[in-house]
């Protein structure tokens, strides 16, 4: 399977490409040992795209062994950081070269608008890899003076074999967030993509090989969460698990990781608030508030899904927000350049949103906009109207639970105290946004919000140079920025005795 058992596919936008369908283990393309497959679905048409190999417990075991061998192989273990950086640079360059194909696959498989895949996601992938390429020869320790008889120094070592379990909302970008720092620090990886979006990462695997990474440094095994994911999270020879996905699955992963005390990084759910104070610049707040929940079909862990507006500006905000939804949120074919919102990734996600719409109505909230599947020309696809609820109280499930769709609640508050209490009144603490022109209020409120990230006068303005992650039940650990290196390296202290006798 030199080519990954590639099949030639032509996407709806006319782009033709070889799509690998195998498991990428030890630098080779192999078939699933149990002959299982995952059929990838186009969420715009509900039609199958192609079936790919799905890994079993044995395949994960093979991939972990390959990663362990690569970790101990001098070609990787002793490779100078500068050269690891060059490999990452080469990979980033290949992503740029192949970005139209990668973006095409991403849009076909996930449903996100092609303009977003191409201009946002692929830039994020290459940018993140390049950022960590620069760090590869800058991961070093300290010299620590103690007494005249002794000094110590620290070195930063890779953690080892890292299992990475990624979600379907930003398939390649989430892979890059995890691969960049892991490889910069000299780890080896077994990556399990989400079963809803297995395709783009297989094409990317060939770029990893072309960039020149030694075999086994990066292994990519598609498979089901309950089988391949579970096998990876509970594997006794895996040193770390990094996961992005639901809080419920993260809890299972934490439990499984306990078997051999794996290092963990978890990036999970959210119900991020966006606060608009009376003194905010209204137009700016409306634009960011719309993008903060409606972008990427609302399938963003940091989506600002609870908008809190101060009473004095509430009616004006509502009117402008609804207008923004009507003017900007065009729902339809993700390959059409006029589309803002494509289909949800799967029927399960569409059904989940529909359920929450019923819940919101049953709880007595006011459905201001949307609330229905969006009819399309072909009558197929997982399309939903952008949905807005008001009249929401903090006890309601639609105020507390992550929906993960173009679904927002807008509530009114009177005082700063009340806004902070509403912000902090959920189990989550991922993102948050504050709109005000008052400098001191902005920073005061930013400190009081329980969240891993606060955006002042923007929303979801994520950046690979800046740490990303959550508090409370939104996660453990940080990705991106220099903080991302800590998740993938461990400090060894070496004590040097100069002359003292015991």
3-state secondary structure of 197: coil
Q: Residue 484: which of Mg ion, ligand NAI, none does it interact with, CB under 5 to 8 A by kind?
A: none
State the DSSP code for 43. Answer: T
CB atoms within 10 A of CB 29: 22
> In the complex, which residues of this chain contact ligand NAI (CB under 6 A)?
165-167, 169, 192, 194-195, 225-226, 229-230, 233, 244-246, 249, 252-253, 267-269, 301, 349, 352, 402, 404
Among 59, 109, 368, 402, binds Mg ion (CB under 5 A): 109
Q: Residue 245: which of Mg ion, ligand NAI, none does it interact with, CB under 5 to 8 A by kind?
A: ligand NAI
Q: Are 435 and 281 in contact (CB under 8 A)?
A: yes
Which residue, 349 or 436, is less far from Mg ion as judged by CB? Answer: 349
Among 11, 23, 30, 41, binds Mg ion (CB under 5 A): 41
Q: Whole-number minimum distance, CB 110 to Mg ion, in Å?
A: 6
Q: Residue 109: which of Mg ion, ligand NAI, none does it interact with, CB under 5 to 8 A by kind?
A: Mg ion
Which residue, 91 or 221, is less far from Mg ion as judged by CB? Answer: 221
How many residues at the interface with Mg ion, by CB under 5 A? 4
Residue 330 neighbours by CB under 8 Å, 6+ apart:
338, 339, 340, 341
Which residue, 32 or 196, is less far from Mg ion as judged by CB? Answer: 196
Q: Are 398 and 363 in contact (CB under 8 A)?
A: yes
Q: Whole-number minimum distance, CB 268 to ligand NAI, in Å?
A: 5
Which residue, 38 or 357, is less far from Mg ion as judged by CB? Answer: 38
For 416-436, the DSSP string reads HHHHHHHHTSSS--S--EEE-
Q: Whole-number minimum distance, CB 192 to ligand NAI, in Å?
A: 6
Which residue, 45 or 246, is less far from ligand NAI as judged by CB? Answer: 246
Q: Which two tokens stand for residue 402?
A: 């992550």
Q: Residue 225: which of Mg ion, ligand NAI, none does it interact with, CB under 5 to 8 A by kind?
A: ligand NAI
φ/ψ bin of 381: left (φ > 0), alpha (ψ from -120 to 50), beta (otherwise)? left
Catalytic residue (one of 106, 195, 267, 368) = 267
Residues numbered 183-222 forming contacts with Mg ion, rule: CB under 5 A: 196
User: Which listed range, 101-109, 202-210, 240-248, 353-361, lies at the site for Mg ion (CB under 5 A)?
Assistant: 101-109
Q: Residue 229: which of ligand NAI, Mg ion, none does it interact with, CB under 5 to 8 A by kind?
A: ligand NAI
Which residue, 428 or 455, is less far from ligand NAI as judged by CB? Answer: 428
Which residue, 93 or 373, is less far from ligand NAI as judged by CB? Answer: 373
Q: Whole-number minimum distance, CB 171 to Mg ion, in Å?
A: 9
State the DSSP code for 260. Answer: G
Q: Whole-number minimum distance, CB 401 to ligand NAI, in Å?
A: 9
Q: Which two tokens stand for residue 320?
A: 């402008």
Q: Are 295 and 431 in contact (CB under 8 A)?
A: no
Distance CA 212, CA 191 (A): 18
Q: Are 411 and 309 in contact (CB under 8 A)?
A: yes
Q: Is position 267 annotated as part of the catalytic site?
A: yes
Q: Residue 339: which of ligand NAI, Mg ion, none does it interact with, CB under 5 to 8 A by kind?
A: none
Q: Which two tokens stand for residue 143?
A: 């010299």
218 sits in which H/E element = strand 218-220
User: Whole-angstrom distance between the N-terminal and C-terminal Cα of the chain?
Assistant: 61
Q: Are 38 and 20 in contact (CB under 8 A)?
A: no
Q: Whole-number minimum distance, CB 368 to ligand NAI, in Å?
A: 22
Strand 273-276 with 161-165, pairing: unpaired
Q: Residue 41: which of ligand NAI, Mg ion, none does it interact with, CB under 5 to 8 A by kind?
A: Mg ion
Q: Hey, which residues does 307 pair with through a beta bridge?
A: 274, 410
Q: Whole-number minimum distance, CB 345 to ligand NAI, in Å?
A: 8
Distance CA 285, CA 436 (A): 9
Q: Which two tokens stand for residue 197?
A: 């979006």
Which residues of the chain form contacts with Mg ion (CB under 5 A)?
40-41, 109, 196
- Catalytically active residues are 267
């Amino acid at each position: 399977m030199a080519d990954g058992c590639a099949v030639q596919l032509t996407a709806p936008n006319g782009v033709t490409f070889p799509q690998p369908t195998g498991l990428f283990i030890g630098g080779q393309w192999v078939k699933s040992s149990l002959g299982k497959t995952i059929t990838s679905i186009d969420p715009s048409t509900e039609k199958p795209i192609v079936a790919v190999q799905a890994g079993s417990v044995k395949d994960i075991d093979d991939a972990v062994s390959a990663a362990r061998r690569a970790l101990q192989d001098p070609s990787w273990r002793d490779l100078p950081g500068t050269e690891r950086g060059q490999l990452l640079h080469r990979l980033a360059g290949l992503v740029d070269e192949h970005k139209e194909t990668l973006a095409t696959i991403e849009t076909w498989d996930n449903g996100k608008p092609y303009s977003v895949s191409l201009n946002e996601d692929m830039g994020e992938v290459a940018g993140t890899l390049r950022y960590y390429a620069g760090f590869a020869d800058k991961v070093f320790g300290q010299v620590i003076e103690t007494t005249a008889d002794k000094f110590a120094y620290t070195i930063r070592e890779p953690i080892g074999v890292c299992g990475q379990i990624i979600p379907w909302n930003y398939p390649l970008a989430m892979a890059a967030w995890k691969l960049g720092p892991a490889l910069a620090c000299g780890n080896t990886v077994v990556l399990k993509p989400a079963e809803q979006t297995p395709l783009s990462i297989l094409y990317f695997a060939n770029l990893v090989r072309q960039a020149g990474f030694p075999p086994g440094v990066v292994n990519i095994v598609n498979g089901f969460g309950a089988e391949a994911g579970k096998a990876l999270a509970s594997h006794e020879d895996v040193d770390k698990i990094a996961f992005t996905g639901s809080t419920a699955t993260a809890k299972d992963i934490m439990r499984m990781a306990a078997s051999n005390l794996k290092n963990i990084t978890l990036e999970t759910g959210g119900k991020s608030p966006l606060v608009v104070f009376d003194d905010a610049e209204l137009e700016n707040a409306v634009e960011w508030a719309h993008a903060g929940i409606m972008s990427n079909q609302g399938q963003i862990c940091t989506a600002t899904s609870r908008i809190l507006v101060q009473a004095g500006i509430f009616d004006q905000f509502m009117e402008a927000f609804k207008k923004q939804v009507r003017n900007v949120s065009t729902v339809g074919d993700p390959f059409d350049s006029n589309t803002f919102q494509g289909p949800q990734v799967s029927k399960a996600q569409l059904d989940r949103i529909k359920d929450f719409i019923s819940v919101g109505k049953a709880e007595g909230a006011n459905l201001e906009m949307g609330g229905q599947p969006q009819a399309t020309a072909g009558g197929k696809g997982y399309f939903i109207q952008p949905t807005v609820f008001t009249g929401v109280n903090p006890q309601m499930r639609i105020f507390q639970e992550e929906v993960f769709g173009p679904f927002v609640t807008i509530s009114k508050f009177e005082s700063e105290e009340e806004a902070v209490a509403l912000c902090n009144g959920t189990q989550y603490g991922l993102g948050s946004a504050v709109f005000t022109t008052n400098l001191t209020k902005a920073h005061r409120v930013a400190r009081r919000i329980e969240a891993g990230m606060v955006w002042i006068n923007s929303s979801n303005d994520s950046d690979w140079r800046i740490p990303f992650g959550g508090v409370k039940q939104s996660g453990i650990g940080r990705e991106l920025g220099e903080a991302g290196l800590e998740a993938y390296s461990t400090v060894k202290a070496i004590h040097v005795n100069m002359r003292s006798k015991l």
